[in-house]
Structure 1
């Protein structure tokens, strides 16, 4: 397969990785606390040059450019979630192919 086609299909050296995140969020008591939590989560994701998409407590994280997510990116999000007192049952999947992988 030619390099141009591999790049277009995001294969081999052009593969882009990402990971799934699932967690339980405790009742926060007010809309303001709820939105504050999500603002902080989005800030952490964007500070690592990542993007998130999907549901509220179950989403996929990929990169915001043609780079790939790394194990360090995955650990940064997982560590931050574990540090939040309102979050429990954190499950961060291993890195998977963001374009051709299976997502859970």
Structure 2
């Protein structure tokens, strides 16, 4: 594909100055945790950490992707807020991982400065 694109096309393709960033999450739950406890934790996570920071989540209770709830990019501060919420010591979690910011539409591309 051509690299000399019009501003309109760059916006439509979400590239260059219109790149949108998000991050991946994985959750590791404690052994023997029942489904109700996992669901309650996940609901709290969505309400407090995701929607409470103006973000959106796509995925499941084990793995997912966080992006902005509207067009645009997740900021490093928003990512850090979600990571801090996960590290508060929730009894249901054995651990979690939060990836660095990555391109939402083209994960193989590097993040623009």
Same fold (TM over 0.5): yes
Counting only pairs closer than 5 Å after superposition, residues 66-77 of structure 1 correspond to structure 2 as 66-77=71-82
- 2:18 is aligned, of 14, 25, 34, to 14
- 2:41 aligned partner: 37
Question: Shift in Å at residue 29 of structure 1?
Answer: 4.1
Question: Deviating runs (4+, > 4 A) in structure 1?
Answer: none
Indicate how the Cα distance of structure 1 residues 42 and 85 shifts in structure 2: closer, same or farther if over 3 A, else same: same
TM-score (norm 1): 0.87
- 2:99 is aligned, of 78, 81, 93, to 93
Query: What is the aligned residue count?
Result: 101
* Inter-partner Cα distance in structure 1 for 2:7 and 2:105: 17
* Inter-partner Cα distance in structure 2 for 1:15 and 1:59: 20
Question: Shift in Å at residue 30 of structure 1?
Answer: 6.1
Question: Shift in Å at residue 90 of structure 1?
Answer: 1.6
1:49 is aligned to 2:54: yes
Structure 2 residue runs without a partner (length 5+): 109-113
TM-score (norm 2): 0.81
